[in-house]
Structure 1
C-alpha cells in the first residue's frame, strides 16, 4: 500500500496505543464495533431473520464473506485487513427484509434518487455511523474503495449503483487514483467474488436444509435440469442454456454433491451437506486464485481477479437454484407483500410525523435538512437502519398511535 491509501476523509491525530496496529486493522475494528454491524444480526438474508436458528442472517453472511475474502486476498498478496473490512462492511446498507425491502424503499425514495443497498453502505460508512462527526466511521481510502462493488452513481436503466448524488464528494475523494470511472480495485473484486460464492453456496445449503431444494430431483429429472439452465441463462448468466447444462452436469457429478442428496436432517445428512458446501467454496476460491496469481503480491489496481468460466457458470447455477426453488415461491407468500407494505407505509407515516417519531440523531438531521428532498432521504435512512423486528414494531406503533 502507498501513503495515500491510508488517508482518511477527515484527518485524525496519530494514535500510539502501544499495539502497533495498522490503519486497516483500525478500520476492521471500527466496522466490527459499529451499531450497523450489530443490527445485521436481525436482518434478513434470504429467509426472514429469526424464522429458523439454522438459517443465515445478514450478520452471519457478512462474517462468512469476510472470512472467504481474507483468505483469498491473503493468497493473492492483498492486505488481509482491507479485504476483511470489505467483506464485513459490504451489506451494512441493506434494509429490513433483504432485497424485498430494497425494492420497497427504492420506490418510496424515488423523489430523492431512489434506494440501493450498496449506495446505502457507502452512506453508512461515511455519514450515518457515529464515530467521527461528519464522516461516519472515517475509514481509510483503501478500505472504502474495497467496499465499493459498484463505483458509479445511478444512471438511466442502471439497476445497481454505489453512490447517491449527495454523497459524491466523499465518493470522488475515495476514488482518487482509480484508473477508470468504473474500474473496481482488486480488493473489491475479491470481496465481490467472495460474496457470490458465499451466498450461492450457502443459500443452497439453507435451501436444502429447509426442504426447498431437492438435489436428488435435479439428478433424476433431465427436463427439470434443462428448465433450471434456461432460467439461469435469463437471470444470472450471459451464457446459453446448453453451456450451462454442461456446467450443471459437472456440478452434480461432483463427489461432494451426491452424498448431500436425500437430505433428512440427521447428523449424517448435515455433515454431508456441510462437506458439500466446504468443497464447493474451496474449489471456487482456489480456481480464482490460481487463475489470477501473478507470482507476486497484487493489490489495488495491479491486477484484476480472474474467475474461470466453469466456476462462474456453476456459481450462477447455484444462485439459480436458490431463486427458482426458494426465493420465487416464498415471494408469492402474503408475508412478503406485507413486508413491502410495512416499509412503504413507514416512510409515508414518518414523512408526515417527523421529526417527532424519528430517533434523535435522525431528527436532528431532519431539522437541518435543506428541503423536502433532503428530509425524505433522512426518513429513508431511518427506515433502512431498522432491523426486521424493529420495522414491524415501529409500523405497529405508528399505525396505532
Structure 2
C-alpha cells in the first residue's frame, strides 16, 4: 500500500503531448516500458562502466549497472511504500545520456563542447528521451510523464547555477521545476545508483587485480562483512568468500538507507509527493555514519581503480579518439548517417551543428567509436594494449 508521500500515477502531471492512457498499465509502467524498448537503452550493453569493452566481458557495462540500480530501487521503494514503477523507470533511464568510455568520454566531450555550452550526461538523458529517440508517429522522444522526466532531471538534487543547454531547451517547453528536490522515488533511484556502483566496483576492481582482498578488508563495512563470512563459512573457497562478503556490504547499505529514510520521511511530516519536493532537503538518505563510511570507500575506489595507472593509460587513449572524431564530423557532417542529414541541413550556425555532432558521438558504443576512429583516421588508439594488463580473477 502506497504512503501519502508517494507519487500516485492517477495524479500524474501528464505528458507534453496528451495521449490516451493504457487500460492495463499505469502511466509510470508505460514510461518504464518505453525506456526499456528504446534504442539508447539497448546501446548501454556496449557502453563502459569503468573498463573499456575490449578489456573483457566479465566487467559491468552501463546496461548491467542500470539493471542492478533498478533492482535496488524497486526493493527500497516498495519497502518505503513508494511507487515502485516510477522509481524503476528513473533508475533504468538514469544513464541513457552517457557517452562511450564512461566518465572519461563525458569529460572529453564536455571539453570539446565548451565553446558551445558544454556537455552533461544527465541533461543528455533528457535530450534523448524528449527528442533524439524517434520511433513514434506523433512526437519525437518517448513522451514520458512529467513525473518521470522530473526524476531523471533532478534525481541528484535541484539543478542550480547554469542549466545545461540540453536540459534548458526542454524545460522551456515543459517546466520541470528544477529549483526543487525531486520525488522520493527519484531520490531512491539516485542512492540506489550509489549502492550499486560502490558494491560492483569493489567486485570488478578485485577481478581486474587493481587491489586485493587484504587491502579492502581495511575499509569500513568490508572488514566486518569478511569477518562474518569467515565465522560462518570458515572453509569456503575464495570466490564464494568474496561474493558472500560483498553481498553483505550491499545489504548493509540497503538496510541503512531504508531505516534512515523511513525516519526522515516520518519526521518531514510530508503528506503528499509535492510536500516531499518542497521539503528543502532530501528525504531519502544514508545515516551520517554510513555516509562517512561510503566516502572512505569512494576515495579508495577513486585512487586505486578509477585513477589506477593501467586504467589511466586506456583513459588517455580513448580521450584521444573522441578528440580526433569531433573535428572530423564538424568539418565533414556529411559523414553522419543519412537519417541525420535532415537535422544537419536545418542546423543554424556552428553551435547547432556541434550539438548534433555531440549527440551522435555521445550515442556511440565503445566498440563503434573505436571502429569509426580507426576507419576515419587509419589509427588504432588501443594498439599494443591487449587487455591493458588487467587480469580476470
Bucket of the pairwise TM-score, normalised by the shorter protein: 0.7 to 0.9
CA RMSD after TM alignment: 2.7
Given the alignment, which residue of 151, 166, 177 partners 1:146?
A: 151
Given the alignment, which residue of 208, 224, 237 partners 1:254?
A: 224
Given the alignment, which residue of 132, 135, 140 partners 1:131?
A: 135
Given the alignment, which residue of 71, 75, 78 partners 2:79?
A: 75
SS class of match (1:71): helix
C-alpha displacement of 1:252? 4.3
- Name the structure, 1 or 2, with higher relative contact order (CA <8 Å, separation 6+): 2
The runs of 5 or more residues in structure 2 that have no matched partner are 1-7, 277-282, 380-393
Aligned to 2:285: 306
Distance 1:216 1:166, change over 3 A: closer
* TM-score of the pair, normalised by structure 2: 0.82
Larger mean Cα displacement after TM superposition, 112-121 or 288-297: 288-297
Aligned to 1:28: 32
Given the alignment of the two structures, is residue 397 of structure 1 paired with residue 375 of structure 2, yes or no? yes
Contact 1:6–1:23 under 8 Å retained in 2? no
Aligned to 2:19: 12
Aligned to 1:358: 336
Distance 1:298 1:73 in 2: 16
Distance 1:292 1:2 in 2: 22
Which deviations, in whole Å up to 9, do the C-alpha atoms of 1:87-115 show, x marking residues without a partner? Answer: 11100000010111011000111122101
Which deviations, in whole Å up to 9, do the C-alpha atoms of 1:308-335 show, x marking residues without a partner? Answer: 0122122222222221111212466433
Contact 2:221–2:249 under 8 Å retained in 1? no
Aligned to 1:89: 93
C-alpha displacement of 1:298? 7.4
Aligned to 2:63: 59
Distance 1:171 1:206, change over 3 A: same
C-alpha displacement of 1:152? 5.8
Given the alignment of the two structures, is residue 288 of structure 1 paired with residue 257 of structure 2, yes or no? yes
Distance 1:171 1:281, change over 3 A: farther
SS class of match (1:323): helix
SS class of match (1:256): helix
Distance 1:166 1:68, change over 3 A: closer
Given the alignment, which residue of 202, 206, 209 partners 1:208?
A: 206
Contact 2:131–2:140 under 8 Å retained in 1? yes
The runs of 5 or more residues in structure 1 that have no matched partner are 157-162, 220-224, 226-247, 261-265
Distance 1:348 1:269, change over 3 A: same
Aligned to 1:118: 122
SS class of match (2:17): coil
Distance 1:96 1:169 in 2: 24
Aligned to 2:164: 164
Aligned residue pair count = 356
* TM-score of the pair, normalised by structure 1: 0.81
C-alpha displacement of 1:7? 0.5
Distance 1:338 1:32, change over 3 A: same
Aligned to 1:322: 301
Contact 1:186–1:299 under 8 Å retained in 2? no
Contact 2:198–2:298 under 8 Å retained in 1? yes
4+ residue segments displaced more than 3 Å: 13-16, 131-135, 150-156, 172-176, 255-260, 294-303, 330-334
Given the alignment of the two structures, is residue 272 of structure 1 paired with residue 213 of structure 2, yes or no? no
C-alpha displacement of 1:396? 1.7
